[in-house]
Structure 1
Amino acid sequence: MFHRAWQLCGKWCRWSSPFIHLLTLTVVTFGVLAPLICHRLLHSYFYLRRWHLNPMSRKFLEQNQQEGQDALHYFEKMQMPNASEASSSDAFQPLLLITIITVQRQNDFHYVLQVASHFHRLLQKCGVHCQNYRMLLCNVESDPSSHQDVRLLSSLFPTVSRDRTGENPDPGLNQFEKEKQDYVFCLEQSLLVYSPEYILLVED
């Protein structure tokens, strides 16, 4: 029996054996070629996080910071009209109202400026076809006056604020519930101020 098993093993283990060919191909493919080719692909099984993730994160943050500075310069160079606080007395009823929900974040990245600049460029590029579109800023920062980017944009876009200054924060209120309440507030204010046919709620 041992001799028979040895003969069978020798038959399968010869270089000309299909089994050896398949085994060699598998080892070369998944042990050599795939790691060499896929080690830079973020969602690959062979992605080497220690080599690439930290530099990629730094590069992304630097790019995001640069885009924030570009958005800041974009609005600083614009001729700012004197746009007052949003008022329900406005007779204009837009077809689409883009409401940007914002809170104060890291100043260097200017997230709300990035979002607002992208939408503003799109509306400018659209021209007369988008003349019935409007933008509204919804500031849900607990202290609205501390949001510096909104102060800059308030001279260009109508703004509503959810002032919670002096309120006692609810310790049982989690982040998800707070964001849900902020969305409800901004949606209600959008309907109250403009009563548009359509509303697009976005978060910075």
Structure 2
Amino acid sequence: MRYEAAGLTVLYVLTFLIVLPVLCSTWRYSVYYRGGESPDENDPSVLSYFSDVMTSVNDETDERPVFLLVTIVTVRREGHFYLSRVVARLHQLLSAYNGGNGNDGAIRAMICNVDRDPELHQEALDLQTIYPVVRRDVQQQPISYNDLMDKEKDDYIFCLNASQHYHEQISIKKRQSSGTYYILVLEDDAVPLDDLLPVTRRFIDYLKMRRSDDDRDFFYVKLYHPERLQNYWQPEPWRIAEWIAVSVLSVFLLQVVLGLRLRRHSLWIIYFMALTECLGRPHLLQFKRWMFARLASPAAAYNLLAATECCTPAMLFSNTSAYLASAFLSSITCKRGYAKDTALYLYARQSGRQAFVVEPNLVQHVGRVSTLRFN
């Protein structure tokens, strides 16, 4: 037992003072991150993608009902190509999905231009040959910081309503019944990842299946939660339980795989708890996604959990919950400390409506230029 204690001391020192500081200095979500290259948020090369794309992926000859409408909310961010990057990636994913899913229903997309002067949002104007663009015309007047929060909320309401109107137009044109459909609202700095569409469809099917006639539809599903808030040391109780479970399992595997006879189990559990937290839970989630993509179905790597408060880069609504969210947001005033994400989260909790978050993330948040302050 004395040798095990000495070995543990050496292991702690080697791991947390030597190996991890060197290994993880460039791991963005580890405690040892020292800075480095940020995600490529401003890549003008994405513009070349559109040189050979002359028409929208929303083929007018596609007679399948539209079960999902992707709406990209956008404003000007001078010198940055966030919107182009999102549209290029979404166009690639939609082309593959709509072309390979038979009669499974179609996905279409639109751009919602809510810039204070939509005619000056040249990037959105250039992309209207790819996806239809709706715009919100508002009077030009000075806006304070608190009013910016409320304007962002009003922009969101406009885009939710515009999405419903656009879907109704599609249904009327194709002489189809609207029925239940879904709206995925993407902010213009949320780049879709490869699994976005199939995993979203999987969870839509799951939520439809578990809903009885007497149950209310879900309120929303978040497809993104900030990585800095995904570590184990967070207030959500289930994360603490997962943290302990992962550490206990690691100790068990250490004994089974290596055949070690460990006696100081509590110290070994603490070691693995510290190890996983220092590595960063977001990196473990990425490893999980990588592993499932190679050993099983990629969609199996994703979980549907109770929603957390922050944030709204990618939000999934049904048509009924979009109407409810629009009506609720129209009844409140947002301000600093009470933005639309907080308002929606508190409303879901107070009204008893179901709100979820998908983990790992299905979009990459690339924006470093806020729309809530003048840059």
2:71 and 2:183 in contact (8 A); partners too:
yes
2:106 maps to a residue whose letter is N
Query: Which 10-residue stretch deviates more, 92-101 or 146-155?
Result: 92-101
Q: 1:203 aligns with which of 187, 197, 205?
A: 187
The one-character-per-residue Cα deviations of 1:88-121 (angstroms, maximum 9, x if unpaired) are xxxx97332111101111424x111111112211
TM-score (norm 2): 0.39
1:93 and 1:194 in contact (8 A); partners too:
no
SS at match of 1:138: strand
Tell me the C-alpha RMSD between the 2 structures: 2.9
Q: Distance in 2 between matches of 1:128 and 1:78?
A: 19
1:32, distance to aligned residue in structure 2 (A): 3.1
Q: Distance in 2 between matches of 1:33 and 1:188?
A: 53
**Aligned residue in 1 for 2:158:** 185
**Aligned residue in 2 for 1:105:** 77
Q: 1:77 aligns with which of 27, 47, 52?
A: 52
Q: Distance in 1 between matches of 2:14 and 2:125?
A: 56
Residue identity over aligned pairs, in percent, reads: 29
Runs of 5+ consecutive residues of structure 1 not aligned to the other structure: 1-16, 84-91
The one-character-per-residue Cα deviations of 1:69-104 (angstroms, maximum 9, x if unpaired) are 2321111332247x9xxxxxxxx9733211110111
42 and 198 in structure 1: CA distance in 2 versus 1, 3 angstrom threshold: closer
Flag the structure with larger Rg: 1
**Aligned residue in 1 for 2:131:** 157
SS at match of 1:56: coil
Q: Distance in 1 between matches of 2:89 and 2:121?
A: 20
2:70 and 2:109 in contact (8 A); partners too:
yes
1:38 and 1:44 in contact (8 A); partners too:
no
2:73 and 2:159 in contact (8 A); partners too:
yes
Q: 1:30 aligns with which of 12, 28, 32?
A: 12
Q: Distance in 2 between matches of 1:28 and 1:190?
A: 60
Q: Distance in 1 between matches of 2:86 and 2:126?
A: 14
SS at match of 1:79: coil
119 and 172 in structure 1: CA distance in 2 versus 1, 3 angstrom threshold: closer
Give the 5 Å matches for 1:1-204: 18=2, 22=5, 24-39=6-21, 40=24, 41-45=27-31, 47=32, 49=33, 52-53=34-35, 55-57=36-38, 60=39, 63-65=40-42, 68-80=43-55, 94-108=66-80, 110-126=81-97, 127=99, 129=101, 132-166=106-140, 168-171=141-144, 173-195=146-168, 197-204=181-188
TM-score (norm 1): 0.67
SS at match of 1:95: strand
Q: Distance in 2 between matches of 1:124 and 1:163?
A: 31
The one-character-per-residue Cα deviations of 1:132-180 (angstroms, maximum 9, x if unpaired) are 32211000111111112111111221111112243x2443634433222
